[in-house]
Amino acid sequence: MMRIADLEFEVTSCRIEAYCHVEKMQWDIQIECNSHADGKFHGYKPVLSLSLFETPAQAFSHWTDLAPRNARWGDKNDTDVTPSGMLYIFEHTPIFESYARCANRGGEMYVKLDGKCDVYFDEQYDTDLELHLDSPVVFRGVWFGRRPESDCRKAISHFLNPDDFDYAPTENGVSMLTPK
């Protein structure tokens, strides 16, 4: 469930995705919601993009060890800064004054976020609105661009065991390692 002020939205997709850089691994979460049940915001569906964590080489042995982990930020940064977040309803707006947590509950990874956002809809739903998210999150995999499988496995080996992943290029030829 995601809530903006007093409006609740059903989460339809919440997935964590990672990227290997030379000295760190970046962990982002993408959240998609249904439109509001009463048609608020003209039926638009909120989308969140969170850039939450960076981990160094060999920070843990398996991706499930990412949780528990917390992130906090105050400023209205775009997602080029970690940690940070963006909300999209009518336009991209930064999420700020935020505290995010990933935890394991009953064998499943969950993400919780408490923060503020701007929507610019009307006088009631304008700026500095409370934002809350509590949702299970699924690890989609690690993105590599258009690279051969051997390069992907070599890059991830600095961070995680490549044998824990399957090579799964997308229909557009973008390389990805997905958890087994």
Task: List the chain pLDDT tens, one digit each, 180 residues.
Answer: 999 999 999 999 999 999 999 899 999 999 999 999 999 999 999 999 999 999 999 999 899 999 999 999 998 877 778 999 999 999 999 999 999 999 999 889 999 999 999 999 999 999 999 999 999 999 999 999 999 999 999 999 999 999 999 999 998 989 999 999
The residues, ordered by sequence, that sit 6+ positions from 134 with a Cβ below 8 Å of its Cβ are: 1, 110, 111, 112
Q: Which residues of the chain form beta strands (DSSP E)?
A: 2-4, 7-9, 11-20, 24-33, 47-56, 69-73, 84-88, 92-105, 108-117, 129-136, 138-145, 165-167, 175-179
The three-point CA angle 46-13-158 to 5° equals 115
Whether the Cβ atoms of residue 130 and residue 3 lie closer than 8 Å to each other: yes
Q: Count other C-beta atoms under 10 Å from residue 144's C-beta.
A: 21
- What pLDDT, on a 0 to 100 scale, did the predictor assign at position 54? 95
pLDDT value of residue 77: 75
pLDDT score at 179 = 95
Would you state the pLDDT for residue 41?
A: 94
Closest listed residue to residue 44, CA positions, set 105, 98, 121: 121
Question: Could you give the CA distance from residue 87 to residue 64 in angstroms, rounded to a whole number?
Answer: 26
